[in-house]
Amino acid sequence: MCQLLGMNCNVPTDICFSFSGFRKRGGETDVHRDGWGIGFFEGKGSRVFLDPEPSAHSVLAELVRSYPIRSLNVIAHIRKATEGDVRLENTHPFLRELWGRHWLFAHNGHLPDFRPPLKGIMTPVGNTDSEWLFCWILEKLRCQFGTRTPSRNDLFSALRKLTLTFAEHGISNFLLSNGDVLVAHCSTHLSYIVRQAPFGEAHLADEDMSVDFRELTKPADRVAVITSLPLTDNEAWVDMRPGSLWMFCDGNIYDQCDTIPSPYKTMADLATATAEGSRF
Amino acid sequence: MCQLLGMNCNVPTDICFSFSGFRKRGGETDVHRDGWGIGFFEGKGSRVFLDPEPSAHSVLAELVRSYPIRSLNVIAHIRKATEGDVRLENTHPFLRELWGRHWLFAHNGHLPDFRPPLKGIMTPVGNTDSEWLFCWILEKLRCQFGTRTPSRNDLFSALRKLTLTFAEHGISNFLLSNGDVLVAHCSTHLSYIVRQAPFGEAHLADEDMSVDFRELTKPADRVAVITSLPLTDNEAWVDMRPGSLWMFCDGNIYDQCDTIPSPYKTMADLATATAEGSRF
């Protein structure tokens, strides 16, 4: 299965520490060798670094790890391909523009029988179920709200309804951001932590590296980090419940609600069900 | 004024040599200090590196110069801001998706009174005339062809008609690519070279660096390079005539036609006319 990493902050913050550990899982401490990507929002602009190479050994990942890009919203992904070849166009996060904002999307899971028709407002470039899902979500938002940008509350409510449509069809952990908020769906597993004063020390789970946030932060700073598996081994990460949707804003939880947990606990369960034809 | 660099090839080729000289113009051999960007197509996928820092001194530009990304179509841009702040969202090339392909666009010039209404199919994220123009072009293509991808010839013909609409409104040198072809509009100045067998040696104009293409190429390789000012000082670059539109494919000229030359030879002429209100 792929892994996700998201960050949402109230002041522009770099993700170098978290990404140091995360990238190791792309071919060193874990098996997600089929490419990686990371997208940063800076103001209304965004930059996305994509690489079909394993992140643990990528020149580009080394640059991202060592070059501090300060951002309010970040989405990263390391891929273990389930559907779609290992190619640049199948590498997450995917980017589209809607209502004059960039939108980034990364997906961890598989929705083997969910290919709803698209109207041609957004069209996938690659051949993953993930990009199809992203295009479908943005098309539905565009059709519901027209050319008018919805409020955060209306956006969250619309995303909940859309998520209920596909949550039962497979595994649909995802991160979505428009640079203003970061939305996270926990279908099987996802954890988060909100780091705020009083700050402490954190130690990476995937490499022997620590950081003392007291030395790097101001008292009002607040950062939410969301990830498939906790990145540090000495902090209190919160497991999100399967079947829950979260909106983060300014480094904190803005809203949350129930959706539907995946009927499959793991990708192996899903693969077995697909092979047996029990649900598909 | 900004500067453009484009490359279109018949085999995936890296742009490290050309970019070595081009990046120097962003703050070292020339004044284009207000950010830079480069986009590469690899298969149907694309990756775009954007930086609001001057390219001559950018860590990211050093990576792009030294890390060979092999591509059939590349568009790069170094910016001297005329309209729109120096911010990431105003950094070229701009990216959108249409008909399941990425499109990249970079503009050198200024269209001060050309802000046609947009329908909301594509909306600018930043506040440059360049991104507005790009959104307008793609919207018009989408409206003309619907959800059906046009042939190269139909696309070229449509782009000519659109270019005739805005060519008189200012300076509109641009590069546009969908990963299949690269389209170049010469409004005031743009040069190209087609490198093919027999290959020779090339020496950069902006730094003392040479490359012998005989050592790096196969006999059937063909590469078209398009740029605002010739990158090498010992090759026969062809000046495109002001008021001409070109389509490059497989490293060669696919088609060309007349448009309308800019009424202004330089940005200074345009600025004077704008200040005098003679045309606006």
Tokens of A167: 């949550």
Residue B131: its chain A contacts at CB < 8 A? none
Residue B275 has pLDDT above 80, yes or no: no
| pLDDT at residue B211 is higher than 60 | yes
Q: What is the pLDDT of residues B81-98, one digit of tens each?
A: 777 788 999 999 999 999
CB B59 within 8 A of CB A63: yes
Q: For residue A216, what is the domain's CATH number?
A: 3.60.20.10
Whether the Cβ atoms of residue B259 and residue B164 lie closer than 8 Å to each other? yes
Residues 6+ apart with CB under 8 A from B161: none
pLDDT of residue B83: 75
Q: Using 50, 70 and 90 to split pLDDT, how confident is the model at B27?
A: confident
**Three-class SS string for A85-105?**
CCCHHHCCCEEEEECCEEEEE
Q: Chain B contacts of A102, Cβ < 8 Å?
A: 125
CB contact under 8 A, B67 and A48: no
Q: What is the largest CA-CA distance in chain B?
A: 55
CB A45 within 8 A of CB A102: yes
The alpha-carbon gap from B65 to the nearest alpha carbon of chain A, in Å, equals: 13
For chain B, the average pLDDT equals 93
pLDDT the model gives residue A31: 82
For B:4-63, CB contacts with A below 8 A are 42-51, 59-60, 63
Whether residue B99 and residue A46 make contact (CB cut-off 8 A), yes or no, is no
Helix (H, G, I), strand (E, B) or coil at B80: coil
The single-letter code of the amino acid at A191 is: S
Report pLDDT for A278.
44
Write the single-letter amino acid at A50: L
Is the per-residue pLDDT at B221 higher than 60? Answer: yes
The helix or strand, by DSSP H or E, that contains position B5, with its residue range, turns out to be: strand B3-13
B42, B63, B98: residue with CB nearest A88: B42
Interface contacts A/B by beta carbons within 8 Å: 88
Residue of B45, B46, B91 with shortest CB distance to A45: B91
- Cα–Cα nearest to A122, from A105, A79, A81: A105
Please tell me which residue of chain B has the smallest CA distance to A40: B88
Q: Does residue B278 surpass a pLDDT of 60?
A: no
Taking contacts as CB-CB distances below 8 angstroms, the residues of chain A near B50 are 45, 47
How do the pLDDT tens digits run along chain A, 280 residues long? 789 999 999 999 999 999 999 999 988 888 888 899 999 999 999 999 999 889 888 899 999 998 899 999 999 999 887 777 889 999 999 999 999 999 999 999 999 889 999 999 999 999 999 999 999 999 999 999 999 999 999 999 999 999 999 999 999 999 999 999 999 999 999 999 999 999 999 999 998 999 999 999 999 999 999 999 999 999 999 999 999 999 999 999 999 999 999 998 888 888 888 777 543 3
What is the pLDDT, as a whole number, of residue A86? 87
Whether residues A100 and B49 touch (CB distance < 8 A) is answered with: no
Determine which one of B2, B9, B135, B249 is catalytic.
B2
Tell whether omega for the bond before A93 is within 30 degrees of 0, i.e. cis. Answer: yes
CB A248 within 8 A of CB A181: yes
Mutation target to probe the A interface, by most A beta carbons within 10 A, among B36, B41, B89 is B89
Instruction: Over range B91-108, report the average pLDDT.
Output: 97
Q: Does B236 touch chain A (CB under 8 A)?
A: no
Phi-psi map region of A146: left, alpha, beta (phi>0 left; psi -120 to 50 alpha) = left
Give the residue from A14, A159, A10 showing the smallest Cα distance to A74: A14
Chain A residue numbers with beta carbons less than 8 Å from the beta carbon of B46 are: 88-89
Contacts of residue A232, Cβ cutoff 8 Å, sequence gap at least 6: A21, A193, A202, A203, A204, A205
Interface predicted TM-score (ipTM) of this complex, two decimals: 0.94
Interface list for B 113-142 with A (CB within 8 A): 120-126
Q: CB–CB of B2/B92 below 8 Å?
A: yes
Q: Annotated catalytic, B9? A: no
Domain extent at residue A88: 3-276
- Distance, in Å, from the CA atom of A94 to the CA atom of A100, rounded to the nearest integer, reads 16
How many folded domains does chain A comprise? Answer: 1
A97 touches chain B (CB under 8 A): yes
Contact check, Cβ <8 Å, A125/B45:
yes
For residue A198, whether the previous peptide bond is cis, meaning omega lies within 30 degrees of 0, is yes
B193 and B236 in contact (C-beta within 8 Å)? yes
Helix, coil or strand: residue B4: strand
Q: Give the nearest partner residue to B100 out of A60, A123, A147, using CB atoms.
A: A123
Query: Distance (Å, rounded) from C-alpha A244 to C-alpha A257?
Result: 6
Distance separating alpha carbons of residues A136 and A140, to the nearest angstrom: 6
Is the CB of residue B96 less than 8 Å away from at least one CB of chain A? Answer: yes
Pairing mode, strands B201-203 and B101-110:
unpaired
How far apart CA A3 and CA A173 sit, in angstroms, is 9
